[in-house]
């Protein structure tokens, strides 16, 4: 047989299995352990569960049960001597005791030990070998295993053979509830991270996104604390010929995934990155795209990535044809698909760039329609808006959000931050200064009128035209006007975008007076929100906010 035909064994040797059984303290109740099983095997197993199906394009459709979005109120960090001084304690990172951890950890592990079948995914987080961590996921649902196989960085057969002990382990016992009598529990759900033990447990939610965002929080802690590397809630792409790198920051639903997949640019990643002294690297090996109203016309790259190996979560499909109805919101608005990043034709593997970003794009989805579709930011304005992290939270990604709400989420990723926001902002300011990146604020939300007044979101084709103008360098050279109050500098012309759209004062359908009162009202919310950072921000950054 020629070497190319040698097949890679898909099951580990008895020896590896025994080692894992011992490490995880698994008894004979667990009949099979599948470690890094291929998609085909995970499909076969997942299909044994009720409702799980293969869709007409070959994706695996699975359901997460009652929770169809993250549960930020149930996220906890264990307070112990290593984390005590570092973590940004408060509503984002609620402390839990080591005692609570040991009860919940045992509950999760014990639940998993009662299963006939367990799945283990051993893979990496972080594409730069200098900084990557070895992650182990232990779970009982095949769809969760396939999800994390897609979302983490898949090891080669060689890397898997030498994987050895993981740096971090996720125990996903999401099918089993937390006990509300346990000290500190406020519901049946808990997502807990223990930095001393380097473990995470999940009880009472099967939403797969908890696992990937949990690893993200781990990186938000480990990278700055141990490596002086900045972790970012951003997508990233790179000019195919020019090699220039763009970061897109933004909260959920603002367009990170949509805008980073661009046929003219190589995709580095759609959600989680790190910026080191060497450049930018993606944390993940896959994308987790929203599917609501997805269409082949508007988002062909994502549409075509939904095929064999991809996991569709909480979508509705036709019982006869198995065709997915992407417009159906009956289960949730937060329908999702997780696919390996190489399913996007323009993905760059390995997902990293050894150049520093030349453009920083802050994405906001402004439902009030006040912010212009694009403005060029001064370095102080970038800091102000990065620390503020304004968007209108749209329905879906979090449990219970059904109407757009004004949200300020520092660093455009407050739910995932492990340290105080100013620590990340200071690192970003330093890096941007060193590497002289241009910065932009893009409103992918409402323009010309607000959501409540029945207005429309900025058409995607215009946002894409704006990005083209950023990337071809024309926008940096355009002529600008300054809008009062927010003092944002907006271009008067952008190729492919109607002039009238660029200045909301001109495009506002309900008239100028209504527009000005909407500006004032949003500005006041910015000012109110920034009060908590007033003591730590420089006078220049404070002055870069709205002035009323
Ligand atoms: P998450 O952090 O939850 O993954 P995200 O920032 O990646 O969120 P996307 O998945 O890109 O957000 O979602 C943006 C959604 O908004 C998509 O459904 C997209 O079709 C829609 N959309 C509508 N208009 C625009 C626009 N002008 N720019 C970007 N996206 C738009
Ligand atoms: Mn996304």
Which ligand places an atom closest to the C-alpha of 395?
Answer: 1
Q: In this structure, what token pair is assigned to residue 194?
A: 């223990």
As a whole number of angstroms, the distance between CA 35 and CA 304 comes to 28
Quickly state the pLDDT bin for 3 (edges 50, 70, 90): very low
Quickly state the pLDDT bin for 10 (edges 50, 70, 90): low
Give yes or no for residue 107 CB within 6 A of ligand 1.
no
- Most confident region among 19-33, 159-173, 390-404, 449-463 by mean pLDDT: 159-173
Q: What is the pLDDT of residue 11?
A: 58
Ligand 1 atom with least separation from CA of 458: 27
Q: Bigger pLDDT: 22 or 105?
A: 105
Q: In this structure, what token pair is assigned to residue 378?
A: 């001064």
In this structure, is residue 248 part of a structural domain? no
Count of Cβ atoms closer than 10 Å to residue 216 Cβ:
23
In this structure, is residue 309 part of a structural domain? no
On whether the CB atoms of residues 374 and 352 are closer than 8 A, the answer is no
Q: Rounded mean pLDDT of 46-73?
A: 96
Q: What is this structure's pTM?
A: 0.93
Q: Rounded mean pLDDT of 444-461?
A: 89
Reported as a single tens digit per residue, the pLDDT across 177-198 is 999 899 999 999 999 999 999 9
Share of the chain above pLDDT 70, in %: 96
On whether the CB atoms of residues 77 and 95 are closer than 8 A, the answer is yes
Domain limit, last residue, from 180, 209, 227: 227
As a whole number of angstroms, the distance between CA 78 and CA 137 comes to 19
Reported as a single tens digit per residue, the pLDDT across 501-539 is 999 988 888 888 899 999 999 999 999 999 999 888 899
pLDDT over threshold 80, residue 403: no
Domain limit, last residue, from 164, 192, 227: 227
Reported as a single tens digit per residue, the pLDDT across 325-343 is 999 999 999 999 999 999 9
Q: Rounded mean pLDDT of 198-223?
A: 98
Q: Bigger pLDDT: 140 or 455?
A: 140
The one catalytic residue in 67, 107, 265, 336 is 336
Give yes or no for residue 252 CB within 6 A of ligand 1.
yes
On whether the CB atoms of residues 490 and 374 are closer than 8 A, the answer is yes
415 three-state secondary structure: helix
In this structure, is residue 149 part of a structural domain? yes
Is residue 378 classed exposed, middle or buried when 0-12, 13-18 and 19+ CB atoms within 10 A define those classes?
middle
CB under 8 Å to 528, separation ≥6 — which residues? none
Query: Going by CA atoms, what residue is nearest to atom 30 of ligand 1?
Result: 255
CA of 504 from ligand 1 middle (Å) equals: 21
Match 């007409």 to its residue by tokens.
56
In this structure, is residue 323 part of a structural domain? no
In this structure, is residue 276 part of a structural domain? no
244 is catalytic: no
In this structure, is residue 182 part of a structural domain? yes
Q: Rounded mean pLDDT of 272-286?
A: 98
Question: Which residues are bridge partners to 274 per DSSP?
Answer: 231, 281
Number of domains in the chain: 2
CA of 255 from ligand 1 middle (Å) equals: 3
Q: What is the pLDDT of residue 398?
A: 61
Cα end-to-end span (Å), the chain: 77
On whether the CB atoms of residues 388 and 447 are closer than 8 A, the answer is no
Domain limit, last residue, from 181, 200, 227: 227
As a whole number of angstroms, the distance between CA 353 and CA 346 comes to 14
In this structure, is residue 213 part of a structural domain? yes
CA of 295 from ligand 1 middle (Å) equals: 13
pLDDT over threshold 80, residue 134: yes
Is residue 263 classed exposed, middle or buried when 0-12, 13-18 and 19+ CB atoms within 10 A define those classes?
exposed
As a whole number of angstroms, the distance between CA 478 and CA 494 comes to 8
Q: Rounded mean pLDDT of 485-491?
A: 97
CATH number at residue 502: 3.90.228.20
233 is catalytic: yes
252 is catalytic: yes
Q: What is the pLDDT of residue 109?
A: 93
In this structure, is residue 515 part of a structural domain? yes
CA of 72 from ligand 2 middle (Å) equals: 17
pLDDT over threshold 90, residue 396: no
Q: Bigger pLDDT: 399 or 224?
A: 224
Q: What is the DSSP letter of 340?
A: E
Q: Which domain holds residue 151?
A: 11-49+71-227
On whether the CB atoms of residues 491 and 479 are closer than 8 A, the answer is yes
Q: Rounded mean pLDDT of 351-364?
A: 97
Is residue 307 classed exposed, middle or buried when 0-12, 13-18 and 19+ CB atoms within 10 A define those classes?
middle
Q: In this structure, what token pair is assigned to residue 124?
A: 């990496």
Sign of CA dihedral 153, 159, 161, 164: negative
Reported as a single tens digit per residue, the pLDDT across 79-113 is 999 999 999 999 999 999 999 999 999 999 999 99
On whether the CB atoms of residues 35 and 120 are closer than 8 A, the answer is yes
CATH number at residue 87: 3.40.449.10
Q: What is the pLDDT of residue 2?
A: 42
Q: What is the pLDDT of residue 12?
A: 66
Question: How much is the mean pLDDT over the chain?
Answer: 93
């Amino acid at each position: 047989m020629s070497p190319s035909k040698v097949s890679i064994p898909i099951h580990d040797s008895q020896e590896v299995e025994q080692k894992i059984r011992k490490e995880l303290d698994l008894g004979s109740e667990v009949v099979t352990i599948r470690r890094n099983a291929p998609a085909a095997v995970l499909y076969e197993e997942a299909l044994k569960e009720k409702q799980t199906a293969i869709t007409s394009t070959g994706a695996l459709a699975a359901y997460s049960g009652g929770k169809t979005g993250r549960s930020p109120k149930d996220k906890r960090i264990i307070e112990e001597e290593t984390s005590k001084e570092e973590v940004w304690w408060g509503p984002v990172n609620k402390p839990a005791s080591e005692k609570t951890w040991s009860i919940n950890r045992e509950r999760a592990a014990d639940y998993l030990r009662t299963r006939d079948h367990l799945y283990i995914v051993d893979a990496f987080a972080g594409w730069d070998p200098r900084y990557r961590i070895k992650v182990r996921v232990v779970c009982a649902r095949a769809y969760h295993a396939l999800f994390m196989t897609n979302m983490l960085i898949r090891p080669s057969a060689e890397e898997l053979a030498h994987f050895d002990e993981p740096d971090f382990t996720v125990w996903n016992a999401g099918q089993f509830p937390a006990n509300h009598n346990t000290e500190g529990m406020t519901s049946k759900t808990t997502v807990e991270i223990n930095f001393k033990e380097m473990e995470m447990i999940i009880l009472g939610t099967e939403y797969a996104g908890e696992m990937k965002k949990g690893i993200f929080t781990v990186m938000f802690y480990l990278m700055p604390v141990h490596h002086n590397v900045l972790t970012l809630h951003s997508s990233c792409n790179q000019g195919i010929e020019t090699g220039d790198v763009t970061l897109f920051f933004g909260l959920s639903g603002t367009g990170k995934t949509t805008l980073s997949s661009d046929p003219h640019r190589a995709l580095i990643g759609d959600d989680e990155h790190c910026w080191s002294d060497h450049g930018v690297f993606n944390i993940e090996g896959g994308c987790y795209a929203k599917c609501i109203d997805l269409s082949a016309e508007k988002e062909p790259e994502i549409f075509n990535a939904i095929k064999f190996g991809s996991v569709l979560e909480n979508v509705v499909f036709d019982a006869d044809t198995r065709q997915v109805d992407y417009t159906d919101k009956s289960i949730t608005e937060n329908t999702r698909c997780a696919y390996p990043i190489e399913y996007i034709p323009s993905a760059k593997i390995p997902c990293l760039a050894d150049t520093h970003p030349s453009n920083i794009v802050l994405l906001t989805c402004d439902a009030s329609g006040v912010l212009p579709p694009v403005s060029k930011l001064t370095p102080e304005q970038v800091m102000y808006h990065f620390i503020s992290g304004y968007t209108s939270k749209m329905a879906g990604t979090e449990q219970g959000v059904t109407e757009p709400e004004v949200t300020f989420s520092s660093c455009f990723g407050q739910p995932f931050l492990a340290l105080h926001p100013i620590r990340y902002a200071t690192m970003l300011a330093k890096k941007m200064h060193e590497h002289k990146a241009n910065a932009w604020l893009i409103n992918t939300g409402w323009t010309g009128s607000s959501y409540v007044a029945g207005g429309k979101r900025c058409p995607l084709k215009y946002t894409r035209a704006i990005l083209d103008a950023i990337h071809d360098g024309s926008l940096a050279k355009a002529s600008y006007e300054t809008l009062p109050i927010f003092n944002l500098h907006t271009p008067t012309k952008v190729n492919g975008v109607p002039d009238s759209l660029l200045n909301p004062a001109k495009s506002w359908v309900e008239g100028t007076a209504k527009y000005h009162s909407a500006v004032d009202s949003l500005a006041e919310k910015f000012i109110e929100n920034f009060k908590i950072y007033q003591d730590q921000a420089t006078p220049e950054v404070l002055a870069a906010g709205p002035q009323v």
